[in-house]
Structure 1
């Protein structure tokens, strides 16, 4: 008989949580939480310091999982501001001591998971986002502001502000000044300054605040997931918190001795964002990051993939890329990918990465057309796309790097920082993208139909066009060499004009 339970463990900087669900309904059977763990100053994700407590909690969780007969468990961790090296160390120690393998999620992935949950499970979301809805997701180290319209994700902005990190600044300022809140407000405003041009034309917007438990507890009715926060009541509470003592906050809000320090910073950020947006209506939700992780773990990837595509389109537009050329190359690249599936044997996630790389491979032209592929790579490394893991974002950047001239080299530093399997994936995807890109080298989308045919050691590409393909033929001869080297097939372009 197939096991009907599923376990999910989620590690975040201040807490470890176990949930057991019933399948296929994903009804929550039980939830167990660890004691509060002390967050760090630098970084906030102080997992190495809390390792003994983490291992002890996990050992207890394993007994609960055994009691419920859970055979499949997924274990996720919020990497927050932990370095990749430190994350590997912590993961290794956890696996050695418990046998559990953790899958780290970066902030970008967690935000995408949470937004996906809001879009699918929050009542009246389509109505709320019919015109302009902004979602402020507060984190411990950083936060995110996302924009929705007509029920669909439009764009997001990273904000270098988080409750725990700001609370550390507040603590320091209280020792040196009598008005720390005013200084913090100026600091927050400086961090939001880059959004002012982006939001200049915002009118009659709505703001949904997520991951601020004190707001959700006060304004979301029992048994519901959404509640409106009257501006006057928010302002009164905000003003009282500026001068409130920790003891007052603990006695009036359901917070512990550590998270009490995050209450005021969260309200300070929310107040500045409300002011910046001139939000006419403010809402709070009790849907958490953990809820988002649960949705993603149970297969809710479609909306996240669409968010990744939208973010790639936004990045391409920001850097002035040719949208028609991007769309043509992306469509052709995934067509080649699908037709060549028995040969490359890559995954559907790799297909998505190829599509994304096709949309952003030319953004480096914004800096300099000469060696633009290198500029594209480091722009992508500096601007991770929402929903992508660190490794996937790195793969996209490397595929963009090799889409034009350079080929992956065993000693190339950017390539060797990936594991061997990912290096092979980069080569396979770059070879397909390079060939697809060559078929629109004139940037005029002349080809209207493409078919593939394998003949002995040749990959024949039969293309129908509405104009001559002299430029494309020339580019194809150069750019198809990488494909031949990686796949062992000789690409041949056979052209025919449309009737």
Structure 2
């Protein structure tokens, strides 16, 4: 019973329009309670660009009610997160502090990439026949109040993900004056949406047809009376959706309210949602549209289950993170052979030197990501490419990383080359001391790994690592002279010695 109680935890997601909550057994991913409280925060964020005291009061009331429910159920472990749109407001950190003082709950800030990661986990774990559906090209569209996340799948695997500020509430607030003054509002709105989708369409592979479309997200409650979602998902044909589209673009607000029993505050979002989906259906030539009632909350639950070691789902979530990093490397045309070699050496060093560095599996993943993307700056200029890599990583989305981890990857990439940081990384005041040490250790390992293919000719075919009291000895089986690699390691390995207190040397074993 004690183990069962520990597995049952509480979850709260604060979004732009609702506070969602659940009580879930993480061992079985069975929900005991689930619900939501409307808060209307979106108008504050997207129009007034500040969260009002009245809205804070509403959020506090919702959290206190949820808190009482959790207490009644005896829930002790609670996860409270705020969506990215909540933290767009300039006073968001002040609000977070107010919520902490008034409820005792610390609200964690989800980045866009974390939100996309969690939603994908929700779909992979709970969408009916997900693997079978995604054998053919499938695009997942998550519609929240402030943004739309588009994610592609093919052959049952994750492709790539992009986020756009096209959430229906945001679009409505931005275009409200246009709707009032322009008679051809639908055409203007269509052009506005198309202009934002151009980048996504450009990135789509030419050899994949996206036959299937999965719709999900907090704002799809607007569509639930238009296209019922059922228990988890229901398929609508393209023809059925086009009929709905034709009806909506010609309907008055009064008609939509009466025909679909929609409240007035949701009617304004119907046209942006339906128009966005129609443009994607037309462009991607999707034939089957699945409408799912899965939410970000589902993904937060599943991630917690995976993190705590329960085997409620069978997939490896890290595969998405790695694929996302590989996509970024491909976009900036990195040398694939050198990248693969560097990744292999970096992970070999990490695994063989675990007693020395004492880092975690998550650190190993961050090293793998950094080794994958560290050379993307060469796309801009090979001179100071490591600095270019840093800002390109900062400006890009690597799905599944926290904001801190994203910054860490950029910094590790920056210091993988000859640009040596201060030994204690005191020049990174925005990073705490623990993470600075992680950055230093991972940068030192990546420098060594990169040095071992300095010639970019993959001369070293096998690497063994020996840890001695004052030295790390690398024995390489090579098919050619490796003097350049040895010279480069002598230069770039100095930081390794500073960090770990051991010299590092490279020896060659001849091939037979």
TM class by shorter-chain length?
Answer: over 0.9
The SS at the match of 1:76 is: strand
Could you tell me whether the CA contact under 8 Å between 1:461 and 1:493 is conserved in 2?
yes
Matched, 1:276 2:276: no
Alignment of 1:56-455 (within 5 A): 56-80=61-85, 82-83=87-88, 86-199=91-204, 201=206, 202-203=208-209, 205-211=211-217, 212-220=220-228, 222-223=230-231, 225-253=232-260, 255-299=262-306, 303-409=316-422, 415-455=428-468
| Residue segments in structure 1 that go unaligned for 5+ positions in a row | none
2:224 & 2:342 partners in 1: Cα distance? 45
Q: Kindly indicate whether residue 482 of structure 2 is the aligned counterpart of residue 479 of structure 1.
A: no
Comparing 304-313 with 432-441, greater Cα deviation is found at 304-313
TM superposition shift of 1:72? 1.2
- Residues 221 and 283 from structure 1, CA distance in 2 versus in 1: closer, same or farther, beyond 3 angstroms? closer
Q: The residue matched to 1:178 in structure 2 has which SS? A: coil
**Between 356-365 and 416-425, the greater mean CA deviation after superposition:** 416-425
Please state how far the C-alpha of 1:139 moved relative to its aligned partner: 2.4
Conservation of the 8 A alpha-carbon contact between 1:206 and 1:282: yes
Alpha-carbon distance change, 485 to 23 in structure 1, aligned in 2, over 3 angstroms: closer
CA drift at 1:161: 1.5
Deviation at 1:336, TM superposition (A): 1.3
CA separation in 2, counterparts of 1:410 and 1:491? 17
Other structure's SS at 1:258 match: helix
Indicate how the Cα distance of structure 1 residues 461 and 217 shifts in structure 2: closer, same or farther if over 3 A, else same.
farther
User: How far off is 1:414 after superposition?
Assistant: 7.6
For the structure 1 residues 190 and 126, does the alpha-carbon distance in structure 2 shift closer, same or farther, using more than 3 Å as the test?
same
Moved more, 483-492 or 331-340: 331-340
- Tell me if 1:34 matches 2:37: yes
Change in 2 beyond 3 A, CA 1:216/1:40:
closer
Secondary structure of 2:475 counterpart: strand
In structure 2, C-alpha distance between the alignment counterparts of 1:442 and 1:53, rounded to whole Å: 61
**Alpha-carbon offset, residue 348 of structure 1:** 1.6
CA–CA distance in structure 1, aligned partners of residues 444 and 173 of structure 2: 49
Deviation, 1:68, is 0.7
1:232 match: secondary structure = helix
Cα RMSD (Å) of the superposition? 2.4
Q: Do the aligned residues in 1 keep the contact of 2:21 with 2:297 (CA within 8 Å)?
A: no
Deviations 1:278-313 (A, max 9, x none): 222222222222212221122179643211111111
Cα distance between partner residues in 2 of 1:282 and 1:246: 25
The answer to which of 473-482 and 26-35 deviates more is 26-35
Equivalent pair of 2:229/2:291 in contact (CA under 8 Å): no
> CA–CA distance in 2 between the matches of 1:40 and 1:173?
17
SS in 2 for 1:13: coil
Displaced runs of 4+ in structure 1, greater than 6 A? 410-414
Deviation, 1:204, is 6.1
CA–CA separation in structure 2 for the residues paired with 1:314 and 1:182: 34
SS class of match (2:41): coil
TM-score, normalisation: structure 2: 0.91
Q: Which runs of 5+ in 2 are unaligned?
A: 308-312
CA contact (8 A) 1:113 1:296 kept: yes
Q: CA deviation at 1:214?
A: 3.9
How far off its partner does 1:396 sit?
0.5
**Structure 2: distance between partners of 1:413 and 1:447:** 35
Q: Specify the alignment match of 1:19 in structure 2.
A: 22
Residue 221 of structure 1: how far off its partner (Å): 5.8
The range that moved more, 263-272 or 331-340, is 331-340
